[in-house]
Structure 1
Amino acid sequence: MNQTPYISTVDAEPLHRYQQGGYHPITLGESLKAGREDTYVAIKIPVAETEYDGDTRERQTLKELASHHPHPKHTVHMLDDFDLKGPNGSHKCLVYELLGPNVPDIIDAKFPDGRLPGKLAKIIAKQSLIGLDGLHQRKIGHGDLHTRNLAFTMPYTDDLAEDRFIGMLGKPEIGYVQRRDGKCLEAGVPEYIVRPASYRNHSWNLAQNAKIIDFGESFSLTAVPETLHTPLSVRAPEVIFQDHIDYRVDLWSMGCMLFELFAGQPPFDTFLITSPILVGQMREMATDELPERWQDKWNTMKMGDVMATESTGHNLQEWLEEVYFDGPLSPDLTREDIIVTTP
């Protein structure tokens, strides 16, 4: 593997992506779109387009959602969009409402046992379902549902002075970029990069709403992609088996996400997972047979893969009860709350 020619003391993003058709170099304090919004916002600057090919799926979806009044609940609001020309190409920028940490960040910062309290998990689960229902009522698929794409709203920032706002997030940590050979940086490579802000030291109000974010894999009923790049551990079987997909593939990912919200870990392995291993785990947990139309692909998929055939010794109900009721902490859910039912 070729070593990137650039180095920095901050490991924030792959520096080799600062090239034609890649990232846009930006500096702290820079003004975009000839000015600034009248409130704090988040701006997403995608990789540059080498040729104009119309709006991205994300931009199309968010424009569609922005056209509805009221805006669907518990999904991020796009406030504006604009084109930005830079040294690496033209970027179609999206302006979002400012949101805070995602669910895993909150768990890492505040819950050392690795799991949300049951009551909070219930609230987030309900808000997630409301958000997804709002999308599906409009026949829009999100395509990338997982806990990192659930973020909390930011409290009380509109009236904050800039110095107080920066103080809340912490002083930006800068890492200057250098070439390994000591030569000057090429055009399009930033002078420095900035480590993402952390919420670990901030007193976070968990009464805030959770919203679905990141619509990069989203699609409409009339523009369904051939496949999706949802993380493998929460990927719907229809995607794995390259079957016809529609917005309802989100239901599988939502189920996996809800499981993780309550159990503190996803229902399927994430470490060194492969499609055959994942499908094998799905089959162990499912009560119905693999559809006949997938059988040939399943047989091909298994070739060359060593499949675990022994039972884990626990069914889903037993596993959930062990997680919630066999530990040292007092459970804040009842056994009725986590009962597993089959149709």
Structure 2
Amino acid sequence: MSDANQDLKFVIDAENPYNYQPQGFHPIHIGDSFSDGRYTVLHKLGHGKSSTIWVVHDANDNSLKSLKVVAAWRSDTEVQVLRHLEANFDEQEEGSQHVARMFDAFIHEGPNGRHQCIVGEVLGPNLASYVGNFWASERFPPEMVRRMFGQIALGVRYLHKRDVAHGDLHQGNILLRLPITWRTASDVEQDLGVAGEHEYGADLTSPHQPRYLVPGMCDDPYLLQLCLRQPHIKICDFSESSIPTLTDPPYLASPLILRPPEAILGFLEHPTLQSDIWALAVLCHLLFANGRSLFYRGDKMLLDMVLNLGKLPEELWTSWPGHTDFDDQGRAIRGPNVSIFLKFGFETIPEGKERKVLETLLRSMVCYDTQKRLTAEQVVVSEWVAEYCRPQMGPEVTYVVENMDE
């Protein structure tokens, strides 16, 4: 990027403007069209680390869909995974309702390179959205977490039955289904306003940059409030996913807090079904505990795992420099040897049966031995999901979600 563009301004809720360069993001404006004029851009849904996502009008069936335009530097493994899922789609299986689908895919040639484009349904905010407008605790109510976790578990079981390891099961990749149907651009604007066109200091003579940036709309409090009254989740973003037929599977790139010890220590390069289960346990804790991880972050994660779960398997143990702070039985030489597993962030679940069965479930999901780690099927049929999540998962269950700022 030229020196004249080193002072680009960031726009709130928009992507990093420095991503617009050769082999980077494709510059998009409201009104642009794709796939020989079939899809016309109406609004911005959001962005990820390697893509932007838009609401588009599909001229073929006069409907609105989402369009994900991937950075030119990304590989096309996501489309391979999504095509595999479409080829094995089963509407009768309940988990199918909790996995985002692909309706179309094509390549778009632009000034920054070749971009994989993925068309799907229009979805709402993700589970990383700020909920402090609705609850002073700034966290989801426990009964809502039970519903959402049960749905996520169903979705993961559906994926695993088709040999799909998601590889990146964090809150930002779990989206809420919209409880309303937008059929026209006017419908979208009536709910969310006209798409904003924000200047950011672009070089207007450069073909590599958009003239303006458009903030995403999925963090809109009104939209989030509508979705949370009867949450229905969809697992999305398969850019880090793996299936057995991939010749060049993606490396495990999930956030560190989601990774099992074998991945942290470099013994696991690619996503697996077993690494998904570990991540699913951490995700459960994140939803209950307002973003607090099941284990400490950073270089203390392995130390915290040992204090809470015991000594690592020998191969992992000897490869971890921190093992010298423990004796041969895995007890700390200095400092406390007290487990704090589920001691913080679970105040909304009182001591009693539910706490016990939830702890049993999570400990079985973060078992060091990958062969003994629970499967997604075992998670779905577990006592906690059956007794505490299932009652919240019916179509008749709704929640009161009030905006405290109104």
Normalising by the residue count of structure 1, what TM-score does the alignment of the two structures yield? 0.83
Equivalent-residue separation in structure 1 for 2:155 and 2:88 (angstroms): 14
1:35 aligns with 2:38: yes
**What does 1:264-283 align with in structure 2 at a 5 Å threshold?**
264-268=290-294, 273-274=297-298, 276-283=299-306
**Which among 16, 19, 23 is matched to residue 17 of structure 1?**
19
Question: Which deviates more from structure 2 when the two are superposed, residues 76-85 or residues 29-38?
Answer: 29-38
**Which among 224, 229, 232 is matched to residue 209 of structure 1?**
232
Equivalent-residue separation in structure 1 for 2:201 and 2:205 (angstroms): 7
Q: CA deviation at 1:109?
A: 4.1
Q: Is the 8 A contact 1:102 1:150 kept in 2?
A: yes
1:84 aligns with 2:101: no
Identify the residue that residue 68 of structure 2 maps to in structure 1: 44
**Aligned partner of residue 353 in structure 2, secondary structure:** coil
1:289 aligns with 2:311: yes
Q: Is the 8 A contact 1:268 1:278 kept in 2?
A: no
Q: CA deviation at 1:247?
A: 2.2
Q: CA deviation at 1:253?
A: 0.3
Identify the residue that residue 199 of structure 1 maps to in structure 2: 220
Equivalent-residue separation in structure 2 for 1:284 and 1:319 (angstroms): 15
Q: CA deviation at 1:124?
A: 0.4
**What does 1:44-63 align with in structure 2 at a 5 Å threshold?**
44-49=68-73, 56-63=76-83
2:318 counterpart letter in structure 1 = D
Identify the residue that residue 176 of structure 1 maps to in structure 2: 199
**Aligned partner of residue 238 in structure 1, secondary structure:** helix
From the superposition, tell whether residues 149 and 184 of structure 1 become closer, same or farther in structure 2 (CA, over 3 Å): closer
**Which among 146, 150, 171 is matched to residue 170 of structure 2?**
146
Question: Which deviates more from structure 2 when the two are superposed, residues 4-13 or residues 144-153?
Answer: 4-13
**What does 1:1-343 align with in structure 2 at a 5 Å threshold?**
5-8=6-9, 10-11=11-12, 12-33=14-35, 34-36=37-39, 37=58, 38-49=62-73, 56-71=76-91, 72-105=96-129, 107-158=131-182, 160-179=183-202, 184-197=204-217, 198-202=219-223, 203-206=225-228, 207-223=230-246, 225=249, 227-244=251-268, 246-268=272-294, 273-274=297-298, 276-286=299-309, 288-299=310-321, 310-311=335-336, 315-319=340-344, 323-324=347-348, 335-339=352-356, 340-341=359-360
Question: Which deviates more from structure 2 when the two are superposed, residues 3-12 or residues 97-106?
Answer: 3-12
From the superposition, tell whether residues 205 and 143 of structure 1 become closer, same or farther in structure 2 (CA, over 3 Å): closer
Equivalent-residue separation in structure 1 for 2:315 and 2:147 (angstroms): 38
Equivalent-residue separation in structure 2 for 1:13 and 1:320 (angstroms): 31
Normalising by the residue count of structure 2, what TM-score does the alignment of the two structures yield? 0.71
Equivalent-residue separation in structure 2 for 1:301 and 1:290 (angstroms): 9
Q: Is the 8 A contact 1:221 1:247 kept in 2?
A: no
Q: Is the 8 A contact 2:177 2:227 kept in 1?
A: no
Flag structure 1 segments of 5+ consecutive residues without an equivalent.
326-332
From the superposition, tell whether residues 282 and 193 of structure 1 become closer, same or farther in structure 2 (CA, over 3 Å): same
Q: CA deviation at 1:108?
A: 4.1
Identify the residue that residue 328 of structure 2 maps to in structure 1: none
Two-structure CA RMSD over aligned residues (Å): 2.9
Deviations along 1:126-183, one digit per CA (max 9) or x if unpaired, are 000000001111111000011121111012214x43212122123322212325xxx6
**Aligned partner of residue 221 in structure 2, secondary structure:** coil
Equivalent-residue separation in structure 2 for 1:268 and 1:97 (angstroms): 32
1:266 counterpart letter in structure 2 = R
Equivalent-residue separation in structure 1 for 2:120 and 2:301 (angstroms): 35
Q: How many residues align?
A: 319
Q: CA deviation at 1:49?
A: 4.6
What percent identity do the matched residue pairs reach? Answer: 25
Identify the residue that residue 328 of structure 1 maps to in structure 2: none
Q: Is the 8 A contact 2:308 2:338 kept in 1?
A: no
Equivalent-residue separation in structure 1 for 2:281 and 2:342 (angstroms): 15
Flag structure 2 segments of 5+ consecutive residues without an equivalent.
40-57, 326-331, 365-406
Deviations along 1:183-217, one digit per CA (max 9) or x if unpaired, are 65322111000111132134414214101111111
**Aligned partner of residue 265 in structure 1, secondary structure:** coil
Q: Is the 8 A contact 1:74 1:130 kept in 2?
A: yes
Equivalent-residue separation in structure 1 for 2:25 and 2:344 (angstroms): 44
Q: CA deviation at 1:61?
A: 0.7
Equivalent-residue separation in structure 1 for 2:254 and 2:156 (angstroms): 16
Equivalent-residue separation in structure 1 for 2:333 and 2:105 (angstroms): 49
Runs of 4+ in 1 over 6 A off after TM superposition: 300-303
Q: CA deviation at 1:313?
A: 5.8
Equivalent-residue separation in structure 2 for 1:157 and 1:105 (angstroms): 21
Equivalent-residue separation in structure 1 for 2:351 and 2:313 (angstroms): 35
Q: CA deviation at 1:9?
A: 6.4
